[in-house]
Amino acid sequence: MNRQARRAAARGKTKAPGTPPEIALWFDAALDHQQAGRTAEAARLYDRILAADPSHLNSLQNLGLIALLAGRHDLAVNQFTRALALNAAQPDQHHYMAVALQGLGRSAEALAHCQRTLALKADHLGARTLLGEILQAQGKHDEALACYERVLAVDPGNEPALANLATVMAAKGRFAEASQAYERALALNPDNPLTHSNFGIFHHDRGDLERAIGCYVRAMELKPEHLDAHYNFCAALLGLSQFDAAAAYYEQFLPLKPDFIAGYSHLALAYNGAGKTQEALAAVQRGLAKAETPFGKSVFVQCLRNLTTAPDEALRDLIVRAVSEPWTRPNELTRQCVALIKANAEIAACIERAGAAWPSHPSGDELYGRAGLNALSHDTLLRVYLENSRVSSLDMELFLTAVRAVLLETAASAQADTALAENTLAFYGAIARQCFIAEYAFLQSDMELSRVNVLRDAVTAALRADAPIHPIQLASIAAYGPLHSLTESEKLLTRAWPMPIDALLTQQIREPAEERRLRVSIPALTPIDDRRSSVD
């Protein structure tokens, strides 16, 4: 129990007029327990008093204080609400309510109670300090600074106000004054872990990592569960390139705090910095399995980019999401995606056959073999890679060119009732989307151009006649040119299509139309002058 809480509890020590004798005895006993730190015994007696007298103000207040000091801010708010209903003119009650509300993250309400406290008692230093903290969290540094300076004008030895003043001064770039304020705060209370940690951050931001580490270590000694100190300590080690030390520290610390999610990402960075990429990926996987954070996803991508061998199959699902959501620019993971795709022997054989046959295109049976098309159609990573990233290797380009030719041959002979597996259509839809992304740069023969023109004419005629169109025909056309270039292309949007084809329509008709609409609506900032510049 701190001094302020002890004084507040003691205010109720005197028996109020008309108080039954047994309640006075219970209250005195409860207060003795509370001041001795036996809060459970005190709380039981306060509850007994309130059962007999629900309006016993001091019992409500002291129960609120017990809850507040135990970190039970929700319970504290309930008790202080009842107390304020009995007496709203008590500044301390408003202050304690503000502390409890701030603990729940309800800053706007906490701010209102701070202001109410100061309206009742302008020199209430606790409320003034808390008001500064709320304003500081809102980024209102000048107003927060004014609060702390006003507190220190009355009480120059107010350690919390000094520590907060130091943080605000650092944020305002007044570094020399900030350092002096931290030193004064620590001279007043050398055992405050938060001040040591914040002083460490101050040194860290200034680039003095050695001094920062000293501060973090002291904060951890005083409060081993201070997670920010652990996190920043290892960040400083990483900043000093002490990768093995940081990794060893986290391997010891994380078993004690397995829910410290950021720690897994820092462990991964430490291993990554030490050149132990496999260990780094294993560490960040552990963190992502517990909770997916933007930092964790970013570290996963960073570690994956450093991988020089084919990724492990266990990483496949994460890589699919990293490319499709995406967690980074998909092109940054091209090498890793292709390596994992080629790890499938059936797919690798298809790629090799396409390269061996170049410049001829093998037939579907020759290209796919017995199981190639099934493997290609069921490889989710291949599909999302084609849909989101541009192919950049020669062997993959030759393979996709061969697949496109097979797709065209399949579409040319397809009838309206020709059955096609959903996965196969999704694969061919991904091929078409890749061709659009690559701006149709893949080589095409005169025979292919002739066939696709015939197919385009047939689809256009079907649109005009409202006749059936096989989805594979649209995928094939879209692999050689954008669907929005089709005559009557807008009629495609009036029909229901399988999901892979609808995605093609979005890429090649809906989105280009929206881009054209936005282009017209964007105002020109300066007049357009088409005259050429000249040099005298």
Q: How far apart are CA 281 and CA 296, in angstroms?
A: 11
11-39: average pLDDT:
77
Q: For residue 16, is pLDDT > 60?
A: no
Res. 533 pLDDT band, cuts 50 70 90: very low
**Exposed e or buried b for every residue in 99-134, given b needs 16+ CB within 10 A?**
bbbbbeebbeebbebbebbbebbeebbbbbbbbbbb
213, 217, 219, 223: CA torsion to nearest 10: 150
212-241: average pLDDT:
94
Report the share of the chain in percent with pLDDT over 70: 94
Q: Residue 521: its pLDDT value, please?
A: 73
Q: How far apart are CA 185 and CA 384, in angstroms?
A: 56
> Helix 3-10 crosses helix 57-69 at what angle (to 10 degrees)?
160
Pull the structure tokens for residue 456. 């385009």
Cβ neighbours of residue 387 under 8 Å, at least 6 residues apart? Answer: 324, 430, 433, 434, 503
Report the share of the chain in percent with pLDDT over 90: 87
Do the beta carbons of residue 308 and residue 278 sit within 8 Å?
no
Lowest average pLDDT, out of 8-12, 80-84, 452-456, 472-476, goes to 8-12
Q: Select from 204, 264, 196 the least CA-distant residue to 237.
A: 204
> Helix 125-137 crosses helix 159-171 at what angle (to 10 degrees)?
20
> What is the 8-class DSSP label of residue 442?
S
Q: Residue 306: its pLDDT value, please?
A: 93
Q: For residue 116, is pLDDT > 50?
A: yes
Q: Residue 61: its pLDDT value, please?
A: 93
- At 322, is the secondary structure helix, strand, or coil? helix
- Over residues 75-100, the pLDDT tens digits come to 999 999 999 999 999 999 999 999 99
Q: How far apart are CA 31 and CA 8, in angstroms?
A: 11
Q: Residue 519: its pLDDT value, please?
A: 80
Do the beta carbons of residue 383 and residue 427 sit within 8 Å?
yes
Query: Distance of alpha carbon 371 from its chain centroid, rounded?
Result: 40
Return the ∠ at Cα 469 (arms to 464 and 472), rounded to 5°: 140
- Over residues 163-192, the pLDDT tens digits come to 999 999 999 999 999 999 999 999 999 999
What number of CA atoms fall less than 13 Å from residue 311's CA on the CB side?
A: 28
Q: Residue 15: its pLDDT value, please?
A: 46
Q: Is the peptide bond before 255 cis (omega within 30 degrees of 0)?
A: no
Res. 492 pLDDT band, cuts 50 70 90: very high
Q: Residue 19: its pLDDT value, please?
A: 60
Q: For residue 524, is pLDDT > 90?
A: no
Res. 531 pLDDT band, cuts 50 70 90: low
Chain-wide mean pLDDT for the chain? 91
Which amino acid type is present at position 450? Answer: S
Q: How far apart are CA 306 and CA 276, in angstroms?
A: 10
If one compares 5 and 47, the residue with the highest pLDDT of the two is: 47
Cβ neighbours of residue 429 under 8 Å, at least 6 residues apart? Answer: 475, 500, 501, 503, 504
Do the beta carbons of residue 336 and residue 377 sit within 8 Å?
no
